Amino acid sequence: MTTKYIATPTRTKEILTKYKFFFKKSLGQNFIIDANVLENIIDRAGIDKQSGVIEIGPGIGALTEQLGIHAKNVLAFEIDQRLFPILEDTLVQYDNIKLIHQDILQADVHASIEDSFSPDQDVHIVANLPYYITTPILTKLLQEKLPVDSITVMIQKEVAERMAAKPSTKSYGSLTIAIQYYTTAQVVMHVPKRVFMPQPNVDSAVLKLTLRDEPPVYVADESYFFSMVQACFSQRRKTLRNNLTSYLKNAYDKETISTMLAEIGIDGMRRGESLTMDEFAKLANSFYQAGRN
């Protein structure tokens, strides 16, 4: 591996020293110092010379640089103004990278995609996300139904496992359903702490989300569906019937809920973690229709 890349311990330290940069804990900044790891992420993401890529939180440009080498063009959103003079220096030789000073949670990503990529181009999101804000960022990106093919992100290992989990496992929960409603989710890499500066306290993994053309189940009302899923997991040790009784106490008593569950072939004594997405859809649609009638 050549030392010219940003993603080496020596080059990273040189850049931080030159700009007197200090890490802000509040922004969850952990920079990657191993270019091989970055190349593996890009390979798993399926990036090639025709790809358009959106990056979130480029930091000092370690992943951005590798994306600039491997993709056709890159659009990077950075919230920390202090990093812009650094990025303009470290990425000076790449004319296919565009930087935007904006919080991704506030950004109009649809408009940015339209401005930055051609209509027939495959667009992917690739990022080393700040761990404290992973779920809000992914939720926004998925709910906005962006015209992207995939989202490949470095996140906390435990959260990646929850997003890619299967029913009847410890990791399976409402977050699993929310992610897998919009995507197929796969943990494609585990990443050791030593490849970060500073080293995080938790283990990391790379999660690849491939966007679905259509959700895998029909739901009558998406927000109602997600609220019912959350209700079923609100206390994991409780049965479906007990969780739903607490959630729907103003509408139904326990016996009515048991009867309604029996009518759709779901045992109220089961726990939320045992239900497939198909069963959650059946449950939500049934209660939604009953509420409208």
Question: Which residue positions form the known binding site?
Answer: 30, 32, 57, 78, 103, 128
- Asked if residue 152 lies in contact with residue 183, where contact means CB atoms within 8 angstroms, the answer is no
- Residue 273 DSSP symbol: G
Pull the structure tokens for residue 207.
């999660």
Cα(262)–Cα(266) distance, rounded to whole angstroms? 6
- Known binding-site residues for S-adenosyl-L-methionine equal 30, 32, 57, 78, 103, 128
The burial class, CB within 10 Å (0-12 / 13-18 / 19+), for 172 is: buried
Q: What are residue 31's phi and psi, to 5 degrees?
A: -90, 140
**How big is the CA angle at 173 (ends 171 and 178), to the nearest 5 degrees?**
120
Cα(6)–Cα(208) distance, rounded to whole angstroms? 24
Cα(53)–Cα(70) distance, rounded to whole angstroms? 10
Q: Euclidean distance between the first and final Cα of the chain, in Å?
A: 66
Tell me the residue type at 49: K
Cα(133)–Cα(125) distance, rounded to whole angstroms? 16
